Structure 1
Amino acid sequence: MNVGTNRGDAHAFKLDTLLKLVDVKGTDGKTTLLHFVVQEIIKAEGSRLSASSPSPTRTQPNALHDDLLCRKLGLQVVARLGGELGNVKKAASMDSEVLGGYVSKLARGISRINEVLRLNEELCSSKNSSGSLQFQESMSGFMKMAEDEIIKVQAQESVALSLVKEITEYFHGNSTKEEAHPFRIFMVVRDFLSILDRVCKDVGRITDRSIASSTRHFPVPVNPTLPSVFPRIRALRPESSDDDGSSSSLSS
């Protein structure tokens, strides 16, 4: 990446750059670089969708209207991105330390219950109580299932943190700088999706207004079978120099 430049051999780029797309604004102070990017994406996506699905024919073709409808189709694709990445938004609201703490508490709780059951087993053996033995057997089955579940949860936690580290290194290059906030990458995506949603609404309003305007201004078709009115106008118009002179003298 960036081979041959002073920033060559780059291994990644920070997703934080996405948040800066709204910092570059147009001369109106409202349109941003992200607006332009979204416009280009919806244009490409709309053309792709229109090409794959035949559109109904109209008696009055309007290229501008068709282009706006294509853009609206493409906008629907871009606007769905926030919903498709809904789990990313949920992950951004989580704290990895709190999550790890919950798993540790569960593991410690299982250990303490095991200790209580061990003491209860010794007590049941000395008293030879049938009720206590039945309770011991029931709890032993539950503990076996609970220990297996805790092991699975701990394994899933380890795999999840490993994947987060991998994706952080893929985009940011060095995950050690993010160790204090391992889930920060999800926060960046969440903030970008919020900005993208706002931009999509802006572009959608502009597109809807343009579609409404284009439907009110269809081009009037010229029917070659209708008689032309232009020869009659030319016939009524004085064309000879004598007529011009006479008309000028009358005017004087």
Structure 2
Amino acid sequence: MLPTKEEEAKLNRHKGDIDELGSAEKFIKSLLSIRFAFQRVEARLYKETFDDETAHLKNSFLMLEEACKELRSRRLFLKLLEAVLKTGNRMMSEQSEELDALFKHADVKGTDGKTTLLHFVVQEMVRSEGIRVLDSIMGRIDQKSKNRTAREKEEDYRRMGLDLVAGLSTELYNAKRTATIDLDVLVTSLSNLSDGLAKLKRLVNNDLGTDEKGEKFIHSMGSFISYSEESMKELEEDDDRVLLHVREITEYFHGNVSKEEANPLRIFVIVRDFLGDVGSCVQRAEMSQSP
């Protein structure tokens, strides 16, 4: 709500009774008697919101970093991708190297017009994971489990496998959340913080540097400037490191990324949508299991 230069000039030219002005004009005219009053207000606002802004950026960078780790380390996710890749490449004439192309193949329907390649893979994954975990557990705690009928074993495998595959979204919690991040917003926020710090330093070191009346303001901002410079340095290092991790994870799944991505975080959007499809397959399998 700053006054324009014309409004400032008009108020400064006013030499009549101050009571002739409205309350808003009186207030602004008083502020204009203070050197760099509006810049000081802006600096105070920057200081008040600085910690909240940096905390938001740090949390976003941390989430991105954790998302990259999840995609590289979650065994079940990697096993599911391998199964989709192998099954898809056996069925398709063209091999898929990028995740989005691979997942499009996974959506191809069978002869019944309902069952997709992904649904088939999820069913197989449910059984194999159920066997892997349940046999290991039963073998350790109950030797009598060997007396289960083949049908009972299949039901147990299916139930355990469904729970495991259904939990994949939880294992990739940060990867799914990262799909909602707008990288441009993060970059803009970081740039705005940097610009605000530069304006504050210019105000303190140059504009008010020779103003004795500004000593109190300069003193109060001195320690904050040192603190904010250190915080900005950490944020910029976080930004560089996390974007490197994102580029590495994209190349890990897509191969050499030669051209600039319109959305560097697109891989997380692809994974989120894929997990949604996996969840639908699991729900369908659960429904078919219900009596």
TM-score of the aligned structures, taking structure 1 as reference length? 0.69
Is 1:205 aligned to 2:257, yes or no?
no
| CA deviation profile, 1:146-172 (whole Å, cap 9, x unmatched) | 111111111111111111111112221
Superposition map of 1:104-119 within 5 A? 104-118=191-205, 119=207
The partner residue of 1:19 within 97, 103, 111 is 103
In the alignment, the residues of structure 1 paired with residue 179 and residue 131 of structure 2 have an alpha-carbon distance, to the nearest angstrom, of: 34
- For the 8 Å contact 1:88–1:186, the answer to whether it is kept is yes
SS at match of 1:47: helix
SS at match of 1:150: helix
Is 1:122 aligned to 2:210, yes or no?
yes
Match of 2:133 in 1: 49
Match of 2:153 in 1: 66
SS at match of 1:206: helix
Match of 2:91 in 1: none
Q: Quote how far apart the aligned CAs of 1:21 are.
A: 4.2
In the alignment, the residues of structure 2 paired with residue 107 and residue 66 of structure 1 have an alpha-carbon distance, to the nearest angstrom, of: 62
Superposition map of 1:148-163 within 5 A? 148-163=230-245
Match of 1:190 in 2: 272
Is 1:90 aligned to 2:177, yes or no?
yes
Q: 5+ unaligned residues in a row in structure 1: which ranges?
A: 1-11, 210-252
Which deviates more, 192-201 or 19-28? 19-28
Distance 1:203 1:20, change over 3 A: same
- For the 8 Å contact 1:18–1:192, the answer to whether it is kept is no
SS at match of 2:110: coil
- The structure with the greater share of residues assigned to helix is 2
- For the 8 Å contact 1:39–1:203, the answer to whether it is kept is yes
Identity %: 39
Larger Rg: 1
Is 1:100 aligned to 2:187, yes or no?
yes
Q: 5+ unaligned residues in a row in structure 2: which ranges?
A: 1-95
- For the 8 Å contact 1:21–1:32, the answer to whether it is kept is no
Distance 1:105 1:182, change over 3 A: same
In the alignment, the residues of structure 2 paired with residue 136 and residue 68 of structure 1 have an alpha-carbon distance, to the nearest angstrom, of: 73
Q: Quote how far apart the aligned CAs of 1:103 are.
A: 0.6
Alignment: residue pair count = 192
Q: Which consecutive aligned stretches of 4+ in structure 1 deviate over 4 angstroms post-superposition?
A: 55-58
- For the 8 Å contact 2:108–2:116, the answer to whether it is kept is yes
Q: Kindly provide the amino acid, as one letter, of the partner of residue 120 in structure 1.
A: L
In the alignment, the residues of structure 1 paired with residue 194 and residue 104 of structure 2 have an alpha-carbon distance, to the nearest angstrom, of: 43
